[in-house]
Amino acid sequence: MLILADALVSTPDRVLRPGRLRVSGRTIQEVGSDLQALPGEEVLELPGLTLAPGFLNLHAHLELSPLHGKVAPRLPFAEWLRQILALLPGLHATARTASILETSRSAAESGTTTILSILSDPRSLAGLAGTLPRIWWALEFMDLHGDPQPAVQMDRLAAWLSRHPGCDWHAAISPHAPYSASTDLYRACAGLAKNLRMPFTTHWAESAEEAELFKTGNGSLRPLLPDSWVPDSPSDRFEAVPKGSLLAHGNEMAMDDIQHLQTRGCFVVHCPTSHAWFGRKPFPLETFRQQKLPVILGTDSPASSDNRSLDLRVEARAFHQAHPEVSWSEIWSMLTTLPASALGQADRLGTLSPGAQADWVAWRLPPTPTPHPPTTPTHLAPVPTDPIPTILTSTDPAEVISVAGRLHRPEKI
């Protein structure tokens, strides 16, 4: 199939006008401005639209949207956690399944074609036949109250995935957080991640309360943990984090920790709207940049954010507001090429280039007024000078979404 659009964002530094994309099945074959239809080739004309790679969201909780608005913002972290823990037993598997479907669809319609979602209750997957975006299901483990048997549960997840070969679903693993998962559990999960070649993610250094717990063995988080809980050695815990891990939040890391994690090729997943929702102190972006520990953007769950539809453009705007020194182009990388490489999918996701998956999004962008006569051919509508900030500041749903070559057009009324 040949797709004809007004413009195409291949990578942050490569925009083509007009934009043409040749796709065969799930894969992009060619990208250019002057591709011509081959004899008998299907042609999809998208006049007035700009093609761009789908975004990747590597920290989400698709199951938890029913908790949106149930807990007040700006609570201390321990109090937020206490209230969430009280609500979770009432969140039944059917509500979680519905949440996965609805939230993943709205995320896709706002441009996200890949999601790594923490899965705290695997029963939520029962009956699920497909999702619009491709998903890495990161099965979550804690061992505050006994051994969760991660090897057994990952085996079950693998069996379930094998029964859905037509879905773009993959496995990942996630010990919940240092205060709820022991070093032994981190080691077991790291071993599984290595043997099964799957992403490893965890909540890491999220709050000042967590830092206090490990520093003093006490504080407001302590009453939420069993009496028998003891902090493990920090150095053992660091050694248990495997290379290339995705560390959600990282708000409270010491310089030594940052340097250690940088040498292990880890990535920090920053969730700007959740950060603002908790009223946290400024995110230490400059330190991460100086230490070359890469930062990508995620959404976290709607239980701790105003971003109910998991729209990564909302995160991009919140991030830009907090860090105006970072260019839109760099923010684009934090949503596309950088998370793709964090997921081990560089050149396959997050880019429109030959050999990549056909995960593209078509946007209708408002034309930018230009002071000079347009230089584009008259049959083409004017396109913005730089589509990247225009896409990231847009609020309408995408016109067309393609995941592995499957097309979806959001219904508009």
Q: Which of 343, 379, 407, 340 is nearest to 51 (CA)?
A: 407
CB of 81 to Zn ion, least distance (A): 11
Residue type, 167: C
Both tokens of residue 120?
């705290």
Q: Which of 113, 108, 102 is nearest to 136 (CA)?
A: 113
CB of 47 to Zn ion, least distance (A): 40
Instruction: Identify which of residues 342 and 400 has a Cβ nearer to Zn ion in the complex.
Output: 342
Residue nearest to Zn ion (CB): 300
Under a CB-based contact definition with an 8 Å cutoff, are residues 332 and 15 in contact?
no
Q: 144 φ, ψ to 5°?
A: -65, -30
CB of 315 to Zn ion, least distance (A): 13
Q: For 320-346, what is the HEC assignment?
A: HHHCCCCCHHHHHHHHCHHHHHHCCCC
Q: 256 φ, ψ to 5°?
A: -60, -40
Q: Which of 168, 175, 171 is nearest to 156 (CA)?
A: 171
Q: Where do contacts with Zn ion occur on this chain (CB under 5 A)?
A: 300
Instruction: Identify which of residues 21 and 271 has a Cβ nearer to Zn ion in the complex.
Output: 271
Instruction: Identify which of residues 305 and 357 has a Cβ nearer to Zn ion in the complex.
Output: 305
CB of 307 to Zn ion, least distance (A): 13
Instruction: Identify which of residues 224 and 404 has a Cβ nearer to Zn ion in the complex.
Output: 224
Instruction: Identify which of residues 300 and 399 has a Cβ nearer to Zn ion in the complex.
Output: 300
CB of 202 to Zn ion, least distance (A): 10
- Looking up tokens 């007009």 gives 18
Instruction: Identify which of residues 112 and 351 has a Cβ nearer to Zn ion in the complex.
Output: 112
Q: Which of 112, 203, 113, 130 is nearest to 167 (CA)?
A: 130
Residue type, 149: Q
Q: Give dist(CA 310, CA 296) in Å, integer.
A: 15
Instruction: Identify which of residues 64 and 125 has a Cβ nearer to Zn ion in the complex.
Output: 64
CA count, 13 A, side-chain hemisphere, 250: 29
* Neighbour-count burial for 126-138, b at 16+ CB within 10 Å, e otherwise: eebeebbbbbbbb
CA count, 13 A, side-chain hemisphere, 119: 26
List CB contacts of 337: < 8 A, sequence separation 6 or more: 11, 12, 346, 350, 351
Under a CB-based contact definition with an 8 Å cutoff, are residues 404 and 357 in contact?
yes
CB of 287 to Zn ion, least distance (A): 22
Instruction: Identify which of residues 4 and 67 has a Cβ nearer to Zn ion in the complex.
Output: 67
**Hey, which bits of 94-188 come out as E strands?**
112-119, 134-141, 169-175
CB of 57 to Zn ion, least distance (A): 12
Q: Which of 282, 367, 379 is nearest to 45 (CA)?
A: 379
Burial class (CB in 10 A: 0-12, 13-18, 19+), 234: middle
CB of 77 to Zn ion, least distance (A): 12
CB of 118 to Zn ion, least distance (A): 6
The DSSP output letter for 357 is: B
Instruction: Identify which of residues 257 and 300 has a Cβ nearer to Zn ion in the complex.
Output: 300
Q: Give dist(CA 405, CA 279) in Å, integer.
A: 40
Instruction: Identify which of residues 138 and 400 has a Cβ nearer to Zn ion in the complex.
Output: 138
CB of 240 to Zn ion, least distance (A): 19
Instruction: Identify which of residues 137 and 332 has a Cβ nearer to Zn ion in the complex.
Output: 137
CB of 347 to Zn ion, least distance (A): 28
